[in-house]
């Protein structure tokens, strides 16, 4: 359920641009009374005054300024969809309408969910609508954009190439829309809403838990969600606005659509159980590791590739793992109950090392440092809650590595 109506927001933005109800009604092709009702409905839904009514026109309040920032971003996104449709259309038959059909948050939500689920009855159930209503919403969007958004296949309703691009844009629009009430609340010093973080393994054990606990003490109305998915899926969700930022080990070649900044350099460590045969040594050589079984991350992960390169640079055959896993709980269990070795960030096994279950072995692994950082979508304007959590993550990282 969306608190803000796209149609009301469009009217608000026209008034903010022209400076008055009457002038905006001409550009919107709506009666002045209808425009005034839209602005009043938006103010009521946000419980905030967005304009000061002056003799020389309608002037934005502080609340109006923050709403307009989101409204401009939303309209830029919707007009870019329309322009894309104009470029893609079949000139012989298709016509592309104005953006009015896009000014319906339920239609946009139906398209984004269908692009994800591929199953119209499931979308109808999630939205509390009939299947025919969802079908009509998609048909209205397709009619306005002049081409199909979905293809009916044996695997369900699959988005076309254009449908996939536009569903991504619609998700960004809906994210901006959700942030508007949070922006208004922040003006009164209240940070609320939902922050969704893409959590890579290196951030999950220590950095994120500490940061989340700290930020929730100051902002108890905030809600944090974490997504633990492969990096490629997280970047796709970041691009669509489904998640606010990614925190963890940074990857090379993330793409021009993203901005990354480093928080600190993390060192890989050779880890084993506290009673391991190698645990009592003062210093280990690479030859000392021969004969012990290994549990490692899966082939192709950045850490695994770095480990292979480290052994190759020493002229030694890389270890062939007895177990490959991305599950930290399984890895912990295997280390504690056997003589297996692993290479991992000490941060990820901080609690086990602190309690004495595991130990970091005295083995230098130069060249296996990794940059831990935050990745955001380029040009994104995050919610106040997301900025608060980011600030806490940066503060903690600074204290750890100052």
* Fold assignment, 6-169: Arc Repressor Mutant, subunit A (1.10.10)
- H-state helical runs in 188-301: 201-204, 207-218, 231-240
Q: Is 84 exposed, middle or buried (0-12, 13-18, 19+ CB in 10 A)?
A: middle
pLDDT computed for residue 253 by the predictor: 67
pLDDT computed for residue 402 by the predictor: 61
Low-confidence stretches of the chain (pLDDT < 70) are 1, 89-94, 253-254, 402
SS3 210: helix
Residue ranges of domains in the chain: 6-169, 193-259+374-387, 268-368
Q: For residue 247, what is the enclosing H or E element? A: strand 245-249
Q: How far apart are the first and last CA of the chain?
A: 44
* Fold assignment, 268-368: D-Maltodextrin-Binding Protein; domain 2 (3.40.190)
Distance CA 42, CA 49 (A): 9
User: What crossing angle do the helices spanning 62-88 and 32-46 adopt, rounded to 10°?
Assistant: 120
Q: Report which of 280, 256, 258, 214 is spatially closest to residue 375, judged by C-alpha positions.
A: 258
pTM equals 0.85
Q: Which CATH class is domain 193-259+374-387?
A: alpha beta
pLDDT computed for residue 92 by the predictor: 44
Q: Are the folds of 6-169 and 268-368 the same?
A: no
Distance CA 353, CA 83 (A): 56
Distance CA 204, CA 265 (A): 16
pLDDT computed for residue 322 by the predictor: 95
């Amino acid at each position: 359920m969306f608190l803000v109506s796209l149609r009301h927001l469009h009217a608000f933005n026209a008034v903010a641009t022209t400076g008055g109800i009457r002038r905006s009604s001409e550009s919107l092709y709506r009666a002045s009374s209808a425009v005034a009702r839209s602005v009043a409905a938006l103010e009521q839904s946000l419980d905030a005054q967005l304009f000061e009514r002056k003799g020389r026109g309608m002037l934005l309040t502080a609340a109006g300024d923050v709403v307009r920032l989101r409204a401009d971003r939303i309209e830029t996104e919707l007009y870019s969809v329309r322009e894309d449709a104009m470029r893609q259309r079949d000139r012989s038959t298709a016509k592309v309408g104005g953006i009015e059909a896009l000014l319906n948050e339920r239609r946009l939500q139906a398209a984004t969910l269908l692009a994800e689920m591929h199953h119209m009855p499931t979308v109808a159930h999630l939205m509390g609508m009939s299947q025919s209503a969802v079908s009509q919403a998609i048909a209205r969007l397709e009619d306005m954009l002049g081409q199909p958004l979905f293809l009916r296949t044996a695997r369900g309703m699959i988005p076309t190439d254009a449908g996939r691009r536009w569903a991504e844009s619609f998700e960004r629009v809906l994210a901006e829309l959700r942030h508007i009430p949070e922006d208004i609340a922040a003006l009164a010093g209240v940070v609320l809403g939902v922050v969704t973080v893409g959590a890579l393994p290196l951030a999950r054990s220590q950095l994120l838990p500490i940061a989340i606990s700290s930020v929730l003490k100051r902002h108890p109305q905030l809600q944090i969600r974490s997504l633990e998915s492969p990096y490629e899926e997280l970047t796709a969700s970041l691009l669509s606005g489904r998640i606010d930022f990614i925190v963890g080990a940074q990857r090379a070649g993330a793409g021009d659509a993203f901005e990354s900044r480093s928080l600190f350099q993390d060192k890989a460590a050779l880890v084993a159980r506290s009673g391991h045969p190698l645990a009592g040594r003062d210093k280990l050589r690479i030859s000392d590791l021969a004969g012990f079984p290994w549990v490692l991350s899966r082939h192709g992960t950045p850490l695994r590739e770095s480990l292979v390169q480290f052994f190759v640079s020493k002229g030694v055959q890389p270890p062939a793992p007895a177990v490959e896993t991305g599950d930290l709980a399984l890895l912990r269990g295997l280390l504690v109950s056997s003589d297996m070795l692993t290479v991992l960030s000490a941060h990820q096994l901080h609690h086990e090392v602190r309690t004495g279950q595991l130990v970091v072995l005295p083995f230098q692994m130069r060249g296996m440092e990794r940059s831990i950082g935050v990745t955001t979508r380029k040009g994104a304007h995050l919610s106040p809650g997301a900025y608060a959590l980011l600030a806490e993550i940066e503060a903690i990282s600074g204290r750890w590595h100052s």
